[in-house]
Amino acid sequence: MDQAMVERLIETAISQLKFSYAPYSRFKVGAALLTAEGKIYTGCNIENAAYAPTNCAERTAFFKAVSEGERSFRAICVAGGKDGVLTEYAAPCGVCRQVMMEFCSPDSFQIILAVSREQYEIFTLGQLLPQGFGPGNLQ
Ligand code: THU
């Protein structure tokens, strides 16, 4: 992925912080998911008074994309922090990593953790979910 695309995904993820619905944790998260064809789907976290139904920004982006027919993905950028202030990386939770495992190759899918356009780190899904269980295991 070229530098311009990395920066575009970071800017898009950060731009989603304003939509975050996080009245309980006040931890706002934004995500930008890049499809194989180059389309970007966005997401934010959506909390709930019953807590458990909370949806992370990453899964919001995935579910929006998959519900519109997308099945092939290249990368996701995630940015988050208390009250939307970005000071450190917000890495995907285990549930979100498992959702990524359903649709993405652990060797090639890129997860960009970002604090700003200048401060970010890129991991493969396999690095964040080693020995992941996926659709291939059921064949
Ligand atoms: N959260 C995300 O949206 N993505 C992450 O990568 C980490 C956690 C959300 C869930 C919840 O609304 C809040 O952050 C605190 O856990």
21-54 tens-digit pLDDT: 999 999 999 999 999 999 999 999 999 999 999 9
Q: Is 90 in the pocket of ligand 1 (CB under 6 A)?
A: yes
* Residue 126 to residues 74, 78, 81, 99, Cα–Cα distance (Å): 13, 17, 24, 13
11 is catalytic: no
Give me the catalytic one of 47, 58, 118, 121. Answer: 58
Mean pLDDT of 63-76: 98
pLDDT at 63: 98
Does pTM surpass 0.95? yes
Query: Ligand 1: which atom is nearest the Cα of residue 54?
Result: 12
Q: Give the phi and the psi of residue 48 in degrees, each rounded to 5.
A: -150, 145
- Residue the block writes with tokens 């998260």: 29
Residue 94 pLDDT: 98
What is the predicted pLDDT for the residue at 69? 98
CA-angle at 134, arms to 10 and 72, nearest 5°? 45
Q: Is 51 helix (H, G, I), strand (E, B) or coil?
A: coil
